[in-house]
Every structure is written in C-alpha cells, then in structure tokens.
Structure 1
Amino acid sequence: MRKVFHFLGCKVTRFATRQELSSLKAQRLRQEIAVNDVTVPDQNIASLVDIYGRHHTYLRISLAEKCNLRCTYCMPEEGVPLSPSHNLLSADEIVRLATIFAANGVTKIRLTGGEPTLRKDIVDIVGRLASIPGIRQVGMTTNGIALRQKLEALASAGLNKLNISLDTLNEAKYMIITRRNGFNKVMRSIELAESIFDQVKINNVVIRGINDEELTNFVSLTEFRNLDVRFIEYMPFSGNKFEVRKMVPYKEMLKAIDKKFPVIIKLKDLPSDTSKAYSVQGFRGKFGFISSMSEHFCASCSRLRITADGNLKVCLHGNSEVSLRDALRAGASDKRIEAIVRDALSRKKKQ
C-alpha cells in the first residue's frame, strides 16, 4: 500500500510499513467501537422527527451520478442520462448541508453514487464531513473498482465504515452481471480493506438464476474473515427490466443456507437496522438479509437521502423530491434549509 507523507511542504509517496498499517487499523477500530453504539437522539438537539415518531439520524449523500460499471440490476448497458456537472453539488455545498443536518440530530453519513470514488475530491469531502460536530460515522458504499489506490487516504481522513458491492465469486459471471472487467480489482480492494477496518461489509444483490446458487459460498467467506455479507433482495429500479420471478425472498435464501450449515444463530438487530443479522456457529464474521421487497423496514426507517444534484428524498425508494441545491444557490439561510427539510419530512409516508 502506498502512503502519502508531507515533508517540507512536498508530497512524498512510498509504501506503508506493516507498523503503519497496524496503527491505522487500530485507529479505525477505536472509531468503529464508538459508532457501533446505539444512536440515542440528543435531547438538546431538535431531532428530525416525522409524524409517525421516526427519528432521522442517518443521511445518505450521493456524490456522483456516474458509475464505472453497468450492473444489470441497476442500469441499462448504455448508461443513464447524466446531469451537467454544474448541476451537481460542490464539496462546499455537501459539507454545508451535512452541517445543517448534523445540527438537527443526524449522526451518521453514508456516501454513495453512482460510484463515489469517481469524485476527485472525495478524500477532502470525507475529511471535512468527519470533522463536523455531531457526526460519529462516515461510511461509504462502493463497487471497489477504483477504491484500492484511495482507501488508505480515505481511512486517514475519517472514513470508518465501508460497504463493497460484490455479487459473485466467479470472474466470468462478474463480467456478465456488471458488463465490465474488474473482478480482481474488487477482490484486492476487499483484502486491503480488511487490513485497515475491523469489519468490512459485502453487499450482494441476489438474482434467481444468476447468482442465487452462490449464497453458501459467500457465507463460507465469514468462517475465518471478519466480513458482514448482506444479501439484498432484487428490486425494481428505472432501467433494470425488473422481473418478479428473479426476486429471491430472504426466507428462501435463509432456508438454502440453513441446509448447508449445521447451526445458524440469529443475532440481535437494532431498531434502526435494515439487515436481519445471522451467523454460523463458530464463524468469525456474520451475514444478513436486506428484505426490501418481502419484509420492508419502513416502520423503523431513520434514513434520508440527498441526490448528487441536491434533491432531498425522505423515502429512499420513493419518487418525491425537493431541491436543496436550488435553495442553497438562491441564498437561503441554514434556518430556511432546515424548514424545507422539516416540511418535506412532514409529508413522509408511513410506508
């Protein structure tokens, strides 16, 4: 791994030593212990609460619309129409919005895309977000293709949670699913991430007839590695030509896994968790299911999303949006932005 040092005002790049890697991993572990505590709304902060009493402490921010893959379950092969670059949020706008949300009870931020590592200023953004008072967790979901060369800098800047998407352990099948070549890059990114973070999450979208026979292979990864493999039910997105017959309900997945392994343990889920967590007795890591289709988790939803072009979505899978970017660029005060957010939240549906 290469490490960047600053010496007499100049950047010097060399490979990090084993001691430096161990130190960085220890730093990440201390941060992860802190952010894994149950989030309790600060009584001194005016929390973002909807009419159903749901406290919103988790903000997902899309950093980019572009992606360097064309996953069949996500977008068409020709890609999707992209917003002009000037319509996307700048780093300053992202940080300002995050600061407003943090002042209103948000403690966790997750960076998504598109593919977030395609942003050239991602390390700067992570560092600035991690320094916002009240923000305890800065995580990222990535496909892992361009992650390896940026990961150490991201971790040093304050990234303390990481999800890497990997839908198959077969290189040829990876090319079929993603329509791109990058399997080995992702595997190397996962290995490097394990040397830095105490636990790495693997996101796996399960599609019948494509990768559903690999469930037990992914669970086997958790025997000696501290991985958290999350199987995600295939769901409709614009452009993915969704077919309900390809959706594998989580109970069917669990049944298939249970046939392979002798003792499956149900782990405790926190009220705000989206994943139903399990482990195989004696295994180091764990696995879980995100059952967005068969058993939604709307009743405990604590999440809000800001799109790359600055729209607020109070439901991750809904179509209703309100532009925070336009308000920012029109000169709105922080209080006005907060009022817009609360007004949108007041209209959030129960499910």
Structure 2
Amino acid sequence: MKTMFARLKKFIYAPGVSGDEGNIASVIAADIAPYVDKVYTDAMGNLYAFKKGTGKNPKKLMFAAHMDEIGFMVSFIDERGYLRVSKMGGINYNAAAFSEVEFRSGLVGVIVPEARTAAKDFRPEVFYVDIGAKSKKDAERRVKIGDTCRIAPRLIRLAGSRVAGRPIDDRIGCLMLFEAAISAQHFENDTYFVFTVQEEVGVRGAKTSAFSIAPDYAVAVDIGGAGDIPNCAPFEVVLGRGIAVKLKDGMVICHKKMIEAMKSVAEAGNIPIQYEVLESGGTDTCMLQQAAGGCVAGALSVPTRYGHSAVEVIDMNDVSGGVKILAGLCGTRFE
C-alpha cells in the first residue's frame, strides 16, 4: 500500500491539463516501460503500453484510463496583470474559488472571483488568476496566452486506508493500469494499457486510441461517485466495500459478457465488488464500445467522494481490489 501511495503521489504531482498531457505521459512511460514489450504514443498524445499475449488464440484486450485533468487556459491578460482563463473540463467554481493554481513552468498564482461576487453568481467569466504581477508587461514575462494551469496538486493520508487530494481523477485509474501491468501473472491476450488524453473535454483520446487498436474486449477505469456522504442522493456505491463494476451511465450500457468476466475474477479471488448505476455522466467506456465495429466493453469505477474538487477522497483497499480484477482479466481466455 505504501508503494501505491508513493506512485499515486508521483502521478498526481505531474501536471497534465487536458490538451497538455506531455509531462504526465513522460512520467508514466518511463515507469511502465520495463514491464511491457512496447511503449509508444499517437498523434493525439495517447500513451500505449503493449504486452504481447501468449495464448493460442489471443484477443485484443484494451484497458483505458485518462491522464488529463481539469484546469484552465490563459485567454487574456489585462493592463494590471490579471489573467482571464478559459475552463478546461467540468470546473466546479465553488470548489475552485480562492485556490492556489500552478503552471507547468512552476509559476504559481491564485484563482479568485471578482470583488463582491456572491457564491450563487459564480460562473467562468467572473473568475481571474492573480500571479502577483504588477502590470501586463510584468505578467507577459511570466505567462502567455494559451498557457495552462491547474489547482495545486495534493495527496494526504486520512484515517485507515483512505486518502484525499487532487487530481485523483483520473490518476488513480492510471495507477491501477500500471499496477495491473506489473502484477499480472499471465497475459493470455494482446493487452494494451492506454493512458488517454482529453477525456475531461469530451472523451476524445479514447475515441482515437480505440479506433486505432480496434479491441475485441475493453475496460475503462475512472472515478465514480459515493453514496455515503450527508444529504446525498440515494446511491448504492460507498467507500470501502470494493471497486464498483459499472452497469450503466448516461453514455453507455456495459456489455453483460464483460460484467460477468469481472464478476468471475472477483469471485475466484474473493475480491469484494459493488455495482454502479448512474443516470448521467460518462467515461471513456462509451468510446471504447463504439470503436470500429464495436467491442465487448465494461468499466471499473473507484468509489470517490467530492469529485472535481481539491479534496477527492478514496479508499485504497477499493483500489487494490480493482487492480486484482484487471490483473485477472489479463489472464482470462475470452471466447
């Protein structure tokens, strides 16, 4: 568990706002390369780690987790040196208000709403970033239009096996793919561990990577929700009771064959699982399912409190169970 925490922290501290994932991609590529047969990227920036299957009739199995995180892009610099920014992904401005931000260059600032703006009136156009610049020229020596920034990363230990921080979405999925790649005892199928780009702005990287691979079977890994916080809507999934096997969300109905395959691995390994049913939202799964002629697609969701905030909370025991299921799928003979 200590090793997983350390690697998660390493992944979290590597920047990777949507469309600017080069840094986190380099970190993952360097770490996973010794454990797979080939590491490469495509034109869009998706990172692939390929492991050749040893089965007599290997299928193409694809695992996907997105590298990108929500953030901001500089769109305007005013005469006083304040930065206006365009959102990259689904920003919760109540959560983002009065937070520290950091740029890929190491520059830091704070994102704040205009003076006398009530919380009920928070919207993108009333927010700006203060980097401490004295003027437009001063700011332009440090940033330029198009630079990206993110809410400052953090990872802390809570009680027991729980941790909090950001961007757990979806560096935890990236960690799970990595851990599965290094722990799987057998690769029955040609297995692609794909770390996708631009999920937060429209599941774009999953579309191109899945089209390129044309997998027979695929699993996306991302965060989910949690129904164990005060005043939340009724929801079956809670922290600490196991990884969640997705049944449906607003963009996908998972294939029963993949659901059963994950269930079988869980039962064989005495791994606790939960089942996730969502009314809305979506992950890379929908693009995996629709690629080329389609494939048998499913998803694992890490039960998560306070998603898209600076204090996303997960239970690492749920994560460990999910890794075991992914590793088990690596050795599964699909018909």
Q: Same fold (TM over 0.5)?
A: no
TM-score normalised by the chain length of structure 2: 0.26
Return the structure number with greater strand share.
2
